[in-house]
Copies of this chain bind each other. A is one copy, B any other.
């Protein structure tokens, strides 16, 4: 079934195949192999290519590969990583293995890695690179260019150049493009943008990433609490964070803990664990539906037809709620909606809910009338109207409330909304039924 681009049986063919392909292609295909095959192919790579491929691999795959290599190779590969990528890899590893690896690095790389590891896991400091090129405002363009050439081999980027004063405080940012267009004797201080945005190392990664994206920047300087420059976040790392955050949101919207690793490198047990807690919590919440129904057991017994519409009604209510919940989760994530917009959101979503409820209620009347008679049709239509209105409103408010109390809005999304709406929906359904069917 799996079309394998490598001939794993014939070492000579395999050797030729990996030699022909570029690092990007190899990294992608390696991600799709089983661990032993991945190690087999990787060991055939020439040293430089091995490093290039290794850098492009996911941290989970990197860790796995290292386990199958000789110590010397391991240290070489880890030493060759950018400090921020190295930190991501170390985060994947058991603490003891990580310590051993760290100890094997050169003092310079060790120092830089330790600095990054000092920042908390979701902070901007954790993903910044400490290998940047720092300019001084008093430098001339030709001095700056000479200095950039000298530092380029170790710096992660030379296209965005932070400028600092004598106390190493950030005073501006200049782009390489501006230097290239300026005269040799111009001063960096006159070319730089003194108002350029920066971010504090202890701020949330996501804030940094959104800023990079909103401002179309290639990198953003990271400073400490005294505005001293400590690093630079580059756009490639920002993109990775963006993808990871999206995966997290999507997992939570689907009612599971984020895996944080590629699907196939997560074991069955881990998959079960990431799902079972949520399921249990949701089941506990759903016990309310059993309670509500048991209150109305007599009504149910008398008019069993009412039971026929329970799944349809709850399903529709759940869908309305899920729609507005996911809309809101997304709008909050992108910053389109903020907490301050609460009232505007309530107004809009109430109106949307009313319109959806009216439409669906009216459309349901005729078919249910034909199927189950007029009284039941009226109960169903009125319930659809009420449930759609309520669940749209609930769906939009729960993520906002979650954000308000400091919980990831995605957590308060579809599955919880559905469970909540189920209980409310049943209550509404039977209350309306009791009134209309005159119990």
Contacts and interface: CB of A to CB of B under 8 A. Distances in A.
A158 interface: yes
B293 A348 contact: no
Interface stretch (A36-44, A63-71, A317-325): A317-325
A312 B352 CA distance: 28
A282 B319 contact: yes
A309 interface: yes
A330 interface: yes
Interface in A313-338: 314-316, 318-320, 322-323, 325-331, 334-338
A166 interface: no
Count class of interface residues, chain A: 35 or more
Interface stretch (A103-111, A184-192, A258-266): A258-266
Contact of A268 (B195, B251, B283, B351): B351
A139 interface: no
A24 B214 contact: yes
Contact of A323 (B3, B255, B280): B255
Contacts of A149: 180-181
Interface stretch (A91-99, A119-127, A242-250): A242-250
B316 A148 contact: no
A11 interface: no
A1 B310 contact: no
B337 A263 contact: yes
Q: Which of A158, A311, A337 is most buried by chain B, counting CB atoms within 10 A of its CB?
A: A311
B239 A352 contact: no
Contacts of A278: 319, 323
A46 interface: no
A251 B325 CA distance: 10
Given A24-B197, A316-B279, A250 B253 contact: yes
Interface in A397-439: 413-415, 418-419, 422, 426
A1 B334 contact: no
A101 interface: no
A250 B247 contact: no
Given A275-B356, A330-B250, A311 B293 contact: yes
A167 interface: no
Given A214-B28, A236-B216, A282-B316, A2 B340 contact: yes
Contacts of A331: 262-263
A255 to B, nearest CB: 5
Given A250-B326, A289-B311, A312-B283, A181 B197 contact: no
Interface of A: 1-3, 22, 24, 27-28, 31-32, 55-56, 145, 148-149, 152-153, 158-159, 176-177, 180-181, 195, 197, 211-218, 235-236, 238-240, 242-243, 246-247, 249-251, 253-256, 259, 262-264, 268, 271-272, 275-276, 278-280, 282-283, 286-287, 289-290, 293-294, 297, 300-301, 304-305, 307-312, 314-316, 318-320, 322-323, 325-331, 334-338, 340-344, 348, 351-352, 355-356, 359-360, 363-364, 371, 388, 413-415, 418-419, 422, 426
